[in-house]
Amino acid sequence: MGLFLCLKIMAILKKYNKCNILLSVIIFFNGARISMKYSVERFINDDIGITMNKFAIKTGYSQSKLSSWKNRNHKLVINLPAQIIKLLSEESKYSMEEVYQKLSLYEDDWLKEQKNKEK
C-alpha cells in the first residue's frame, strides 16, 4: 500500500510539473526502491508526459533507436544527435540548452544508480 501511495503522490505532482525535485532523488519507501530511468526516457516521460513509443510516433523519430539507447547502447548526453535534442525541445517547449541541462542532470542520477548497482 505504501508504494502505491507514493506513486499516486508522484502522479499528482507530475500533473502540476512539480515532480522533478521528487524524482531527482532515489526514493526508498517501505523497502521498495523506485529506480532512475535513462535520461532520454525520463525526459520524455516526466517533462513531456508521454511514453517513448508515443514520442516516436508523434515526432517520426526512430523508436528502435530510442529503445536501443534505453536498453543496450546507453548514449551519453554529450553523444546524443542534435536532432533528438531539437525534437525534445520542440515537444517540451524548453530551449535546446534547457533540454541539454535537464538531460545532463538526469544522466548524473542514472549513472550514480548504475554505479551503485555494480557494488
Domain ranges for the chain, please list them: 1-34, 37-118
Q: Of all residues in the chain, what percent are helix, strand and coil, respectively (each to 5)?
A: 70, 5, 25
Pairwise pLDDT comparison (69 vs 58), residue with the higher score: 58
Element (H, E) at 33: strand 32-34
Task: State the pTM of this model.
Answer: 0.69
Determine the Cα–Cα distance for residues 18 and 11; give it in Å rounded to an integer. 10
Give the model confidence (pLDDT) of 64-112 as tens digits: 888 888 777 778 899 999 999 999 999 999 999 999 999 999 999 988 8
Q: Is 47 exposed, middle or buried (0-12, 13-18, 19+ CB in 10 A)?
A: buried
Options 2.60.120, 1.10.238, 2.60.40, 1.10.260; CATH of 37-118: 1.10.260
